């Protein structure tokens, strides 16, 4: 091969490889894990004292905000751990939500 032909072949190979690098992200499938979620929630880190609005119940628990409608829920944990635990039972407990209130997210656009 002549030096001129060799340079052209090498430049062609480089151009093809660069083109493959540029087009590769377009061919890959994108993961849409967020679209599969049923709820859009914010879970407050740590635990806090959860008190029902009618003051009939006051327990430690996690605070969860539903970002779709602004409703705030408290999930009792029955202790200082960040998940529900009852040492008196062998089966894992289920924490049922306590409705605490609602944030008016629509008011931010007024």
Q: What is the rounded CA–CA span in Å between residue 62 and residue 81?
A: 10
Token representation of residue 83: 């998940």
Q: What is the rounded CA–CA span in Å between residue 110 and residue 50?
A: 31
Task: Please state, in angstroms and as integers, the Cα–Cα distance from residue 21 to each residue in 6, 10, 15, following that order.
Answer: 23, 17, 10
For 36-89, how does the pLDDT look when each residue is reduced to its tens digit (9 = 90+)? 567 789 999 989 999 988 888 899 999 999 988 889 999 998 888 888 887 788
Mean pLDDT of the region 82-100: 86
pLDDT of residue 2: 64
Place of tokens 């087009």: 23
> Residue 21 CB: number of other CB atoms within 10 A?
9
pLDDT higher than threshold 80 for residue 35: no
Q: What is the rounded CA–CA span in Å between residue 102 and residue 91?
A: 33
pLDDT of residue 14: 94
Which H or E element spans position 6? helix 3-27
Closest CA to 51 of 72, 28, 82, 25: 72
- pTM for this one? 0.60
Q: Where along the chain do its domains lie?
A: 3-30, 35-109
């Amino acid at each position: 091969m002549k030096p001129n032909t060799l340079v052209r072949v090498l430049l062609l190979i480089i151009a093809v490889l660069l083109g493959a690098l540029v087009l590769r992200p377009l061919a890959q499938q994108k993961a849409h894990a967020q679209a599969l979620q049923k709820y859009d929630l914010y879970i407050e880190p740590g635990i806090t004292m959860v008190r029902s609005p009618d003051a009939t119940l006051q327990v430690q628990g996690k605070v969860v905000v539903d970002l779709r409608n602004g409703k705030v829920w408290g999930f009792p944990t029955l202790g200082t751990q960040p998940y529900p635990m009852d040492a008196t039972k062998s089966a894992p407990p289920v924490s049922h939500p306590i409705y605490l209130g609602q944030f008016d997210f629509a008011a931010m656009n007024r």
